[in-house]
Structures are given as C-alpha cells and as structure tokens.
Structure 1
Amino acid sequence: MNHTDRGWMYRRLQNGYMNDEFINGVEEFMVFALSHVECLSAGKVRCPCNHKKCQNKVFLDDNIVKAHLSRYGFVPNYYNWHLHGEEYIRPNFPNTNPDVPSSSRSQNRSWESENIHVDHIFLSHDQEYLLANQNLGHEFSTEYQEEGPSQYVDPNIEPVETPNNYVKGLYDLIKSAEKEIWDGNPHGHSLLSVLARLLKMKHEHNMSERNFDDMCQLMSELCPANNHMPPSFYWTKKLIKDLGLPVEKIDVCSNNCMIYWGTDSDLTECKICEHPRYKPSRRRGSQTPNKQTPYKIMYYFPITPRLQRLYASTATASHMRWHHDHHSDPETMTHPSDSLAWRHFDETHPWFAAEIRNVRLGLSTDGFQPFGQTGHQYSSWPVILTPYNLPPWMCMKDEVMFLSVIAPGPSNPKDKLDVFLQPLIAELQQLWYDGVATYDIHSQTNFTLRASLLWTISDFPAYAMLSGWSTAGKQACPHCMSDSEAFTLVHSGKTSWFDNHRKFLPIDHQLRRKKNMFIRGRRVLYPAPPTKTGDELLSELDNYGFLPAYDVDSESRNREICQLAKCGWRRRSILWELPYWRTNLIRHNLDVMHIEKNVFDNVFNTIMNILGRTKDNAKSRADLVEMRIRPELHPNVSTGRHPKASYSLERSAREVLCRWLKDVRFSDGYASNMSRCVDMNKLRMFGMKSHDCHVFMQRLIPVAFKELLPREVWEALTELSLFFADLTARNLKQSDIMRLHEQIPVILCKLEKIFPPSFFDCMEHLCVHLPYEARIAGPVQFRWMYPVERFLRRLKSTVRNKARVEGSICNAYLVSEASIFCEHYFGDSIQTRQ
C-alpha cells in the first residue's frame, strides 16, 4: 500500500462510531505485521497504539493490539510501518489526525468524551469461564440485570478489554448494593452493606444461627414497615448466595478405599472392599422412594474460581504480580520468589514463567480433634492451598488461604489421604495444561491463568502421608533415606541418631577422627550422602513398582513390596502425577515449628529432670554402659545410684529458674503469659504452646541457664538457640545460610558429647537439613505450620453440629468467603474484617 493512502489511520471515528475504512485498514495492518516474523517477539506484535504504555514499545497478542488500536488509535505520524517490517522512508505528510492535536502528548485525552462503540472483532476471543451452578439471576439483582450487564471500571485505570461473563456477573452484584434497606433511608445504608456487616460479625465472633436470627428479627422490627431486611440466616444465605464460591459434595467409601467421583460416580458399592455406598433405608413398606444417604461424604472446594477472584478484585489483583515486580538484593531472600527453587522452576518451565500472573501454590494439611481431648475420638483433615504471588505482608494470611478438601473422619486417613486428593490433582493438571480464561482488573485485560504447586507444608507424620516415605524407624529421615545410620538402643528400645552428624562436618574436621568420644572405635572419613533429585526418586519408585493409594490393587501390592525391599517407601504419592513435580528442587518441607518445639521439649525436660519426660533415665544410663562411653555417668555398681550429670539441675537451681519464669514479662503481642505455665510445686513447665517454646528457645535459653549450667553445656545450648533465631529470620542472606550449614553439625556434635544417646531422636537429626532447605526454598515463615495451625483453629471453632463436623466447617467457611468478598470488593464503603 502507498504511504499516501494511509490517511485512514487517523480517521478512526465517524459520527461517534468506528469508521469502516479504519476497521479494514487495521485488519490489513495486522496481516502485514504478522507476515514479518523477524519483527515478532514470541509470536506477539509490537503495539503501535497511542496509549502511553505502548507506542511501539511493548509486544502484545494480536487481538489485544486490535483492541488497543480501536480504543486509542495509532501513534502520531506512523505512516511508515518501519517497526513492523517495512523499509523506513521519511514521511512528508502533515499531521492530519483529528483525534490527536499537535500539542503535547499528555493532552491527548479526547477519547474520554467520545461515545465510542467498539466493534466486537477487536476484542479478545479467550474462552469465558462460567462457574458451575453459579446463578446470577436471583431476586437480589434482577432489577439491575434488566438494564444490561454493568462494567466495574476503576477511575484510576484506563479500560483495555471488557470482562468475561463471570466477572461481569460479579460486578452486576456490586451494583445491586445500591438497593436501600428501605425506601427513603436517610443514612444511605444498602441492603447488601447491612448483610455484609452482619456476616462479618457472625464470622468474627463465631455467632450461632439462632443468635443471627434474633438479630435479624430485631433489626426488622426497628426499621420502617417497608424494609427489605431478611428475617433469618436462611434467607440471608439465599440473598447472598452468589457472593459465595462453589463446593462439591463427593460420596466416599466408609473404609476410605475410594471416592465416587469421575468414572466411578455411578457405582453403588466400593470396587475395592465391596462395602455399600448408601445406608439401608429405614422406611420399610413405603411406596414413595426414599432419598439415599451415603455413609460418608467429603467436601471439595474448587480452587479455580477462587484464584480468579484474586484477579477480579482491585484489593488483590495488583499484588498478584508483586513476586515479579519487587527488587531485592540478590544475596538476600525475603520471599519464596527469591529462592533457588522458584528460579529453577522458571528456568525449567520458561513458558510458564513468561506470564507473570500465573500462580504458584503451596499445599498444607494437618488433622485436628473437633471435640477436644476428652471427647469422642474424631480426626478431620482439611487440605489448604495458599498462593505465593502475594507480597510478604499478605502471603500466608487467612484471607488468602483457601480450604480445598475436607477429608472426613472419624478415623485418620493415613496413607489413604491420596484418595481424597484426586479432584484437586485433576484440577491442578487442568490449570497446568489448559489454564482458564481470567480477567485482571488491575490491567483490565483477559488472560489465560495457569497454576503450579511448588511444595507441601506439614508436620512430620503428615509428611509421610503426602510424600509416601515412612517417617518412622531407622530410615525416617527423608533426606538421608537409606543412607541413615540410626540404630536401636539395647535397653531403651528406641531409635537413636547418635553420632549421625560427623559425616556433615568438613572432610578435614578433627572430630571426624575421634574414636572414643562418640561411638567407641568409630571414625567417620566419608562425606554426607547427596540429596536425590526428583528423577532419581521417581525412578526408584518405578523400579520397586509401588502403586498410588487409590489403585484397586495398591494395598496388597505395596505391602508385598515393603516386606521384600525393606525400604522407606510405602506407596507412590499422587503428587507425582503432576507433570512438573519431579522437576521441583524441593517437594516437601520439614516443619521448623514442630522440630523446634520437640528439640526444646527434649532439652528443657532433660535439664529440669522432669519425671517421665527426661531423656536421662535408668535405661539410658544402662545404654551408656552397653556402649562403653561416658564412664562418669555409669551407675555405681555397689549402690546402684546414678551419678549426677552436668546438664541436670539441682532442686535449688530449678526453684530459682521457676521463680524467675514466674516474674518474667514480655511486650504486648510478643508472647503469651508464660507465668501461667509454671508449676512451683513440681518445679516444671506445663501447657506450653508451640509459640511459647519458640520464644523460650530463641530468647530465654541464653539468659535462663547462664548462671545455672556449666560453661560448655551453656555454650552448646546457646549456639543451638542462636541457630534457630538466625534460621527463622525474616530476611535470609546466602552468607548466613552457609554459615548455619557449617555450624549446625558442629553444634550437634557438641551436644552429642554432653547428652546421652537416647536424647537424639529424629527431631534433633532433622536440624542438620534445615539450612539446606532454607537455601533452596527461602525464608522459613512461608513454609512452617504456624499460619496453618491458626487457620485450623478457626475451622475448629466453627463446628456447631457435632454430628455433621465437615458440614459445619463447610457452611462456616462459605460464610467467611462471602465476608471476605465484601471486604475486597466494597473497600471502605462497607466496614467488614479489620
């Protein structure tokens, strides 16, 4: 085309509508631009629109470029398409663009006052995702739907693309908040704002439904007669049902063998144990059909719509790209996005990392007893997902931790947990391969959202349930695996990891050659075993022939393999079905919270010589005799009495310590009242929570034992205290992690010279692997169980109907999601969660 014929580029509008000549010209331009491959970047076209962020500076999809051109027009004086493959020719044409004045570019705002009708051919054709059973046409918003779908537009963001149907429905619901609670209300309170505040109070204060009903009735009586106040919680749920998110109820075999889902959804009995699916009918001789009641039900909360809402809300959409936009010191890690695991994932899957809005997830699970310790034994197991795209001050908060699965009780699922994870793994696979069309309110563009699972977070017993590796016995360490040198003590009968840490020392360290200081006659001259890669672990599982827990023949087959191979594997985890799982540098995290608590309990109970809890007892002294080490601690042959150990406090010293702990005070919000845990009669501590142990371990040990213990014992414990304090810092430097990696085996060797072999169980040994995981995965506060435990505590408090534990949790969680929805979407106009 001759350059003189391109006046159409600046004749975009005609009588307020798109000019046909401009539409045809844009189509011709796109064909020309796409035909010059050398000018494309990853299949994307340089955008020549006049938007201040584009102007031939960024590459976008062809459909988005069309939408930009229809909205903003071409950049001024771009008659010669030299940036799209055309030979550069200096133009001689004057500026004839009626939409763009010849003044400065900042004054180009004429489009704001134009009544533009954008032709649909310039919009993105991404497939629109609709939620299952998402009814947007209830009576609460009917009057607004008759006017056509509304579009929520942030006044600070210039619109680029129109939202898909799902997001339009959400914005229609926002518009319905304009409906007053009664006609002529002088205070301006809308019905939805009042219901949102009531839901907030119910969620925050764990209000019963009866209390909520009474409050609704009282408010209805106080309002004028023409008010729209719902009379009960039942009607409130019907009015705000579209604020919630979907949940699926899936029948489960009574023995946890299988779930009636997918191709098995029509079965009436278990295909493994042949147990019937439904309870027998109690109505005998009745002619009317009775509703069939399953023996057990699990609840599944799809993660896809919950991730979509993060991008549909102005409160969270802009923060979902923080992991990419923030800048930090290359030697300092403040977020998982700074870790080696994150960077390795990006390098392994560059197509996934190219879209910065793709979501990285962490999975965590733990069981809890809803009836307390004295009630009926019942174990419920929620599975929680949390996105790591968010900044540190938002990540791992309750509002962005999504309940995904509730594995029903009353029994612990143990190795059958994979059975309940099948819907979640299928959805994660779909989010990896296909993605889902999502609207980003921050950039006001549609994109294909994908998600991946980075790692899992759990305590040590749940580690075995998620990974398939047994965390009991001599091969309990998931890092050392079969290279573990744990042994069973003769008299105590316990597994000990004593003298298992010299191999982690530098190869020329003098402690490696000591023969009589640890296990008699043993020198350690070989290096520590290397950490196995995902490919090596998967190959090992395939060679053994382990099957996933949901397979028909898995139970007998896996038991047979375990008996023959005598390995630490118990089954093939369902997480290996994720196509990227084997490429992750770290798949399962050791929980620093529980490790720190168990180490503290062992140290404190042994020093305080607590009866029944100390690791220094008659059997441990007999083990010292059997191993022929520490002769100064051997029992007296004539009297049978045990000599006092240097690490054990006298009664007078214990009284001094307990009185000091009784008077110690902390700043508000730093720690709980630790004086409540002091028992002056028995001179011990009781009822200490994990955070109490955390504070004592890192802050009080160097002070409390300085004048009470010998110097070599106090120094070793102080070094252990400082190790945990540095490890759990908010910002981790690579140099500090390498220092901790070198120090921890020395610290453990010092402790091995002080405490008996029965002191060193698996928890003390796992400390040697914590710096490695911190170097790979980043700061600890994103990978420990404190946020998960707080989330589970809130779920536990919502159990009202103890005959339907999972149903109570499900209903309360959906109310919580509706409350958070109002907080995110209405901001300061509706005061919800604080």
Structure 2
Amino acid sequence: MKQNFTLRAAILWTISDFPAYGILSGWATSGKKACPYRMEKSKAFWLEHGCKVSWFDCHRQFLSTDHPFRNSRTAFCKNKVEKGAPPHIMSGEELWECVKDLPKATDGPESLQRLKKEKKGWFKQSILWELPYWKHLRICHNLDVMHIEKNFFDQLIHTIMDVKKHTCDTTSARNDIARYCKRPQLHLQEDDRGKEVMPRAPFALDKAQRKILCEWVKELRFLDGYASNLSRCVDMQACKLHGMKSHYCHVFMERLLPTALRELLPSHIWNAITEIRQFFRDLCCYTTSVGDMERLEKNIAEILCKLEKYRWMYPFERFLNHLKRKIGNKARVEGSICNAYITEEIANFCSNYFEATVDTTTRDLGRNVNADVDSIVDDSEIPELFTEDSGRVSNEGKTWFLDEKELECAHLFVLRNTGILGEYERKFKDYILSSRPYLRREEVMEKCKAEFSDWFHRKVVEEDTNSDVLRALCMRSFKRVRTWKQIFVGGFNFHTHAHGKHKSTMNYGVCVSSEDGGEGMNIHELYKLVEVNHTKKYPKYDPFVLSYQVTQVYYASYPSLKRDRVQWWAVFKTQARSVVDAPVDLEFLQAPSPQVHATLCPPNDIPDYVVDDDDDIGFIVSSDEDDEFSINSSDSDEDDDIDVLLDDSSDDSSSDSSDDINE
C-alpha cells in the first residue's frame, strides 16, 4: 500500500576547509580578524615586506601561565613577553546575540556592503541560524583535517626542501624577520659584489641532502593496498616532490616524515617537526578518549597553535567521486546520476535476499579479506589453533619435507600453543625438578623444553587416555608438508622475501608480539619510534608462528649522507584496511587510556638564536588589557617602528628562556 509521508532532515554540523568555513558561518576568514576565536581581539599584524597578514607569536597565549616560552624575549617577537590569557570560547547563545541584527544574504547587496565597510568581522547572518536548534549545538562547524593536513604538509616540505616559488623562506620573509625577531643568522647579507644573499637556514636542506631524500622516496616500498607508488611524485632533476595527493600527504606526514628527516636536520628542528606529525596522527586515530583530546589540546598550544575540532572529508570526497562515475549523459548530468543511483539502491536492496554464498556488491569484503566460514567441527576440546581461520592461499603450493630439527620444533610449537596442556606442563616441571633440584621452576620450560614432547608422548601412553585430541597431539606430524609463496590472512597479503623482493610492494614484514625486546631494537624515549638493526639475528631457532596471530610491518632506511646508521631500519606497524580498532564497551572512551603516548621534548631543548646584548633594551608586555603593545595592533599598517615598553626593572622580573611494536 502506497502512503505519503513527510521526510525531515537535520543538519548536525558542517565540514569544510577554512575559506568555506567563512561562507557557512558568516565570519570573514581573511584579514587581521580571520581567527574565529580572537575575533575583534586578534593579535595578527601586517608584514611590511611580505605584504600579508601574519599570526606569528599569537599562540603563546594558549600556554600555561608558568610556561617558559611566555617569558622568552628572543625566541619569538623580540623583546616581547606574553601575559595574556586564552580567549573566551563563545556559546551558541552568545554568538546569536552578535548576529541576530545582521543582514542576511537575501536582504540584498547594499546592506551587505554597508556591513562589510564597518569591518566588524561579520559580513552576513548565515542562513543556518534560521534552524531553531542551531544556537544550542555544541559544535556547529568543523574544519576538514584532510585539506588542512595536505596544505600544512605542502608548506612544510617545500620550505624544508627550499623549492623555488613554493617555499616560505623568501627575501621578503628574511626582511620581516630582521624587523620583528632577534635572529641575526637569518638576516640578509652582502657578498663581495654588494649583492644581497640569503644565508642557508638551519631548517633547509642543501642540494646533496635534497637529492638523497628524493632517492629515498623513489625507492620506498609499501604494503599491498597501503599507499600508491610515491616514486611518481619525485622530480630528480629539480630535487623536489610534486603532484602529491591528499592521501600521499597523509601517509608521508603521519608515518614517513620523522624517518625521512632524522639524519638530515638538527635535532631540535627534527623534534618540533616530529611533534607536529604526532599531533596529526593522534588526531586521526580510530578511537580516542576524553583524556586523549585534553592531552592534544594542551600539546598543540606548545607545538604550533590552538586548532579547532576536526572531522574527515575522505568519505564524502570518495562518495562524490562515486557519483561522478555514474554520469552517462553529459547533457543531463543530474538526471543521469539520480537514475543510476536509484538503480544501485534497488540492486543493493534485492541482494539482501540472496543466499549467503552468493557474492554481491554489498557483501564485498575488500582486499585481502577472507569470508567468515563456520567450522564443520563442533568440539570444545579442539584447541583454538586448529579452528581459527588460517587464511587462504593463491595456488596449490609445493611439496616440502621437514628435517628432524624442523619437525621437532614444529611439534613443540604446537604443544606450547594449544592452551589445553597446562596440567601436563605442571607435571613436567615437577618431573624435571625432582631430578634437577638446582633449577628454578621458572627456568624449566626454557631450558628443558626439548624434552617436553617425548615426556608428553610417554605420559599419554601410560595414562591410556580416552581423549582423541591428546592422543593426536602426542604424535608427531608428517614430514611431508606443503609450502606457499603467498598467503592472505587477517586482511594482510604476505609474501616470502624471495617472492616479493623484486616487487614494487613490501609484503614480507611479519610482526609477532613477544616479551623479549632484544638488543637489536631501539624505541625512541619521547616519540616511541621503533627501529631495528637488520644485521642482528634472533639467537633462538624458532621459525614458526600462527597465521592468525601475526600482523604486518614494513621497513625503511634512513636517508643520510653519513654511513653510520646504514644497519638501522625504521619499522612501521600497519593495520589491515578491513579492521577498525573500535572498542565495543562505550565506557572505554571515558576511561584512562592504557596506551603510552608520545611526549614533547622539554622547552629548553629548543635553543634560541644568538643575539647581541646591546639590542636587549626592554620588552613588550602583551596582555588582553594592553593590546596596544602588540605588534602593529592599530588599524594602520604603515608604522615603521615597533612599540617597545621600557622598564628598568625588566631584567629582575623576567628571565630569558631558551626556546609497541615487538619484532
């Protein structure tokens, strides 16, 4: 029976980049008042030589009141200390009081032009305020981390690699640095011919370093389905990276950046870049808690500046691309998309009534994923390792015969991982300790494990047990086995080293959890970065693992002009594309996270630039009450001098502060 009904939709929030944020909210996102938090109290200033608005040194106000960066007069704007407090975040009701009398876009261009001339920051009243619930929402607008991360990475890598027309380190920037900062090493200098030259900045790579970084990126290999081939984005002639899409920037920013720059940049610059990378990675994780968000909000003030809340645009971008592919008639674009979308919806609805064995679009599990198959064996006594999904292989494989050492090790590995022989292991320890009392109970299985299989076989025969499982376990396996060069398990695609060493992907990195760290592995104390010495080998003979207990890793060397770290590889642990590490228990999100997070380096590890004592004649006090002491805080952008508050007691009242993976 057909019935008509009223379909109602609600707008929960908007997701956009920063320019579109201004269109949706009605607040101008350009000029000195572009910050939607500071609004009219913005401390942004106009760069005389750069001819643009700058928010340099506007982030110290978000630091804790006792942070040493607040009193530093050399690391930021010269002779300026920060005493201001973070801005008040206005509620929806407070914002409504600000915009309720503003003209709307439907009121005509004349009213909007008058509002723009008043320079209040608002240029219209958004149509979203007509929604009765809009002013009661906790979050109305979200910034898209996809665009922000790409823009941030592009500016960062182009500046580090000193790419012409893309770097932020220009002659205009150096002239502005000379005016606003105490960094004489970065000032423009004259050569013998009287021509101004730019001394190389400590954060910029020279030509040899840029070349070796490009060669490193060109030789990178990732897992199957993890990332595209980055070698296509390398220009060896110009020694630069180009044409990097959002996902390329995402992978490079959150995974590769610390490894790529660790041996090329000074340690204090590498620390700052690594902390920014860690912030983006923590922000983009699948699961988070209230404590994690509070930690990120505190850290980002020290790393860079206060950022707003984010949400992903990746699903929407991919869905729009999916709709574009449905265009069959370019003369009727909208109708073509609608017809194709309705047909797809009908097909997906009907596919739900097919048999479970029928492969449909809605049941497509994705790359490297195995379908769940119910076990035909229903016996609670059978160990888990025989009932778990062991993966699927690509072909029939080859026959292989195990030698005595491999056969003994395989049998012992199965016995130790069944999980049902706890009673027999205790009896075996008592048996060994009765004849060797000098051993400790904890050392029995480690030093006498080679005797366990034979003892277990004799014990089962003596007891004459009725358990078919125990009788089967005490017998050794056949020497004849079958081997494969490729297997799909747990959402991963594994290759043997011989099979995958010449491929463009790296699928032979296997990770198994263990309590033994070993001397061939290092974990960075602050940032928890893992590296292994690939020349070291595991001393014990233990070649077998359970397929459903392994995860995948990939390795990358360090690009460096030196040869002292050739033996060390950075290790990157990955997660299967089909797996979302989301907790089922909702209380988990409110509980303290047991994970050990990366921490920030101490503020004193960031050195200040060397300055002349003669220039230190006073300092500026910046606060919410005294905004006139901020740089170029007046409406005029033509002032040539910086306002300096002289105080003879400044030297006494202020101080100069320098700026698990288990393999």
The TM-score with structure 2 as length reference comes to: 0.52
CA distance in 2 between counterparts of 1:801 and 1:481 reads 47
Q: Give the partner amino acid of 2:112.
A: N
Q: Give the partner amino acid of 2:345.
A: E
1:641 matched to 2:170: no
On the 8 A contact 1:459/1:785 being kept in 2, the answer is no
**Partner secondary structure for residue 162 of structure 2:** coil
Q: Which residue of 2 aligns with 1:576?
A: 129
Instruction: Indicate which of 341, 346, 354 corresponds to 1:818.
Output: 346
Alpha-carbon offset, residue 628 of structure 1: 4.6
Within a 5 Å distance, the mapping from 1:118-157 to structure 2 comes to 130-131=3-4
Instruction: Indicate which of 237, 250, 265 corresponds to 1:694.
Output: 250
Within a 5 Å distance, the mapping from 1:362-511 to structure 2 comes to 427-428=8-9, 452-511=10-69
Q: Which residue of 2 aligns with 1:607?
A: 160
Q: Structure 1 residues 815 and 604, CA, compared in 2 at 3 Å: closer, same or farther?
A: same
1:720 matched to 2:241: no
Q: Which residue of 2 aligns with 1:90?
A: none
Q: Give the partner amino acid of 1:609.
A: D
**Partner secondary structure for residue 585 of structure 1:** coil
On the 8 A contact 1:823/1:830 being kept in 2, the answer is no
Q: Structure 1 residues 826 and 463, CA, compared in 2 at 3 Å: closer, same or farther?
A: farther
CA distance in 1 between counterparts of 2:333 and 2:139 reads 34
1:769 matched to 2:307: yes
1:563 matched to 2:117: yes
On the 8 A contact 2:104/2:125 being kept in 1, the answer is yes
CA distance in 1 between counterparts of 2:98 and 2:26 reads 13
Q: Which residue of 1 aligns with 2:90?
A: 532
Q: Structure 1 residues 830 and 514, CA, compared in 2 at 3 Å: closer, same or farther?
A: closer
Q: Structure 1 residues 810 and 465, CA, compared in 2 at 3 Å: closer, same or farther?
A: farther
1:831 matched to 2:360: yes
Q: Structure 1 residues 627 and 129, CA, compared in 2 at 3 Å: closer, same or farther?
A: farther
Within a 5 Å distance, the mapping from 1:84-483 to structure 2 comes to 130-131=3-4, 304=7, 427-428=8-9, 452-483=10-41
CA distance in 1 between counterparts of 2:332 and 2:19 reads 26
On the 8 A contact 1:633/1:643 being kept in 2, the answer is yes
CA distance in 2 between counterparts of 1:455 and 1:661 reads 38
CA distance in 2 between counterparts of 1:488 and 1:797 reads 45
1:621 matched to 2:621: no
Q: Which residue of 1 aligns with 2:238?
A: 682
On the 8 A contact 1:501/1:745 being kept in 2, the answer is yes
**Partner secondary structure for residue 659 of structure 1:** helix
Instruction: Indicate which of 582, 594, 615 corresponds to 2:147.
Output: 594
CA distance in 2 between counterparts of 1:797 and 1:467 reads 32
CA distance in 2 between counterparts of 1:824 and 1:131 reads 25
Alpha-carbon offset, residue 479 of structure 1: 2.8
Q: Give the partner amino acid of 1:661.
A: V
More helix by share: 1
CA distance in 2 between counterparts of 1:698 and 1:504 reads 24
Within a 5 Å distance, the mapping from 1:748-787 to structure 2 comes to 748=304, 765=305, 768-770=306-308, 773=309, 783-787=311-315
On the 8 A contact 1:822/1:832 being kept in 2, the answer is no
**Partner secondary structure for residue 523 of structure 1:** strand
Q: Give the partner amino acid of 1:639.
A: K
Q: Give the partner amino acid of 1:529.
A: P
Instruction: Indicate which of 193, 207, 216 corresponds to 1:651.
Output: 207
CA distance in 2 between counterparts of 1:633 and 1:518 reads 14
CA distance in 2 between counterparts of 1:695 and 1:468 reads 34
CA distance in 2 between counterparts of 1:648 and 1:481 reads 34
CA distance in 1 between counterparts of 2:276 and 2:361 reads 44
Q: Which residue of 1 aligns with 2:550?
A: none
Alpha-carbon offset, residue 732 of structure 1: 0.9
**Partner secondary structure for residue 189 of structure 2:** coil
**Partner secondary structure for residue 590 of structure 1:** strand
Q: How many residues align?
A: 359
Q: Which residue of 2 aligns with 1:53?
A: none
Q: Give the partner amino acid of 1:568.
A: G
Q: Structure 1 residues 827 and 509, CA, compared in 2 at 3 Å: closer, same or farther?
A: farther
**Partner secondary structure for residue 470 of structure 1:** coil
Instruction: Indicate which of 169, 184, 194 corresponds to 1:631.
Output: 184
CA-atom RMSD in angstroms? 2.1
CA deviations on 1:86-143 (whole Å, 9 max, x unpaired) are xxxxxxxxxxxxxxxxxxxxxxxxxxxxxxxxxxxxxxxxxx98348xxxxxxxxxxx
Alpha-carbon offset, residue 583 of structure 1: 0.7
CA deviations on 1:398-418 (whole Å, 9 max, x unpaired) are xxxxxxxxxxxxxxxxxxxxx
**Partner secondary structure for residue 672 of structure 1:** coil
CA distance in 1 between counterparts of 2:37 and 2:46 reads 20
CA distance in 2 between counterparts of 1:129 and 1:606 reads 63
Alpha-carbon offset, residue 655 of structure 1: 0.8
On the 8 A contact 2:115/2:122 being kept in 1, the answer is no
**Partner secondary structure for residue 453 of structure 1:** coil
CA distance in 2 between counterparts of 1:528 and 1:803 reads 54
Alpha-carbon offset, residue 621 of structure 1: 1.1
Instruction: Indicate which of 791, 795, 801 corresponds to 2:319.
Output: 791
**Partner secondary structure for residue 13 of structure 2:** strand
Q: Structure 1 residues 513 and 799, CA, compared in 2 at 3 Å: closer, same or farther?
A: same
Q: Structure 1 residues 816 and 560, CA, compared in 2 at 3 Å: closer, same or farther?
A: farther
Instruction: Indicate which of 799, 802, 807 corresponds to 2:330.
Output: 802
**Partner secondary structure for residue 64 of structure 2:** coil
CA distance in 2 between counterparts of 1:797 and 1:822 reads 22
On the 8 A contact 1:819/1:832 being kept in 2, the answer is no
CA distance in 2 between counterparts of 1:728 and 1:812 reads 33
Alpha-carbon offset, residue 710 of structure 1: 0.7
CA deviations on 1:289-334 (whole Å, 9 max, x unpaired) are xxxxxxxxxxxxx9x3xxxxxxxxxxxxxxxxxxxxxxxxxxxxxx
Q: Which residue of 2 aligns with 1:515?
A: 73
CA distance in 2 between counterparts of 1:615 and 1:694 reads 21
